[in-house]
Amino acid sequence: MSIVVTGATGQLGRLVVEQLLERVPAAQITAVVRDQAKAAGLTARGVRTAIADYNAPETFEGLFTAGDKVLLISGNEFDKGRVRQHQAVIDAAAAAGVALLAYTSAPGTLTAALADDHRATEEVLRASGLPYSLLRNGWYHENYTEHLAPVLEHAAVVAAAGDGRVSSASRADYAAAAVAVLTGEGHENTTYELGGDEAWGFAEYAAELSRQTGREIAYTPVSVEALTGILTGSGLPAPLARILAGVDASIEKGELVVSSGDLSRLIGRPTTPLAEAVGAALKG
């Protein structure tokens, strides 16, 4: 039996593997990657690696074994049919008879287009007959703190979220939840709504940036159309820009406020505060 993590060299996957190494022997972990070179560090630490690509279903054939616990980290290629990609993994896992397949989904309250592939994948997973766990990850702090350069340059937080609030948490928090499910018991056929303990609004975010930088940084609310134009102007493909702006519209409706407490319960501690993530980003 192995704990198998797809997308293991991605931003979330790498954190999951790192935290798994603190809980189980390296030989029990299989990191699924597209590029062996990127996994060299994991291989050196005794982690088994397997080469597979969401776009090549045949690469997943024979990858899993009966009794494995699998984390399917959702793909990020919005233009390549993510549901089809995910189904290739689910089909291979079902054929092998894995013990559990956990999937990183989106909050159940989210109606933005970003959630469409996740809802469809959830349907595929339920129909497969596999024991599953839906990890409905909320928004990440890093969605904001990893892109501070333009905010600091213009001294403005720009969003199309109005007075909406976000229950974000750190990527490491969501990784810890996945590890808890993969290494624990009793998580079959469960759905977890995951988000940070404290919701915040963009005016508060701007105020926190102001406090930590000693500069006056304001929140500038804009329309969804204006934000789409800003994002495309910065080089994002138009379809992706529309998806991201659509998430802001959902934030304004309150769809990314997660009050379940599932995340802190799974990880056994409070979630990482936004202020801490801002401080780490500014130091980095």
Going by DSSP bridges, is the β-strand pair 165-166/200-201 parallel, antiparallel, or unpaired? antiparallel
CATH code linked to domain 3-138+171-194+259-269: 3.40.50.720
Going by DSSP bridges, is the β-strand pair 48-51/29-33 parallel, antiparallel, or unpaired? parallel
> CB of 261 within 8 A of CB of 195?
no
Give the orientation angle of helix 224-233 with respect to helix 238-252, to 10 degrees: 140
Percent of the chain exceeding pLDDT 70 equals 99
Give the orientation angle of helix 11-21 with respect to helix 171-183, to 10 degrees: 50
Mean pLDDT on 247-268: 98
Burial class (CB in 10 A: 0-12, 13-18, 19+), 102: buried
Q: Which two tokens stand for residue 262?
A: 């599932």
Burial class (CB in 10 A: 0-12, 13-18, 19+), 141: buried
Q: Which two tokens stand for residue 124?
A: 């595929």
pLDDT tens per residue across span 210-227: 999 999 999 999 999 999
> CB of 5 within 8 A of CB of 16?
yes
pLDDT tens per residue across span 96-145: 999 999 999 999 999 999 999 999 999 999 999 999 999 999 999 999 99
Q: With a threshold of 0.75, does the pTM exceed it?
A: yes
pLDDT tens per residue across span 25-56: 999 999 999 999 999 999 999 999 999 999 99
β-bridge partners, 5:
31, 71
pLDDT tens per residue across span 162-204: 999 999 999 999 999 999 999 999 999 999 999 999 999 999 9
pLDDT at 115: 94
What is the average pLDDT score of the chain? 96
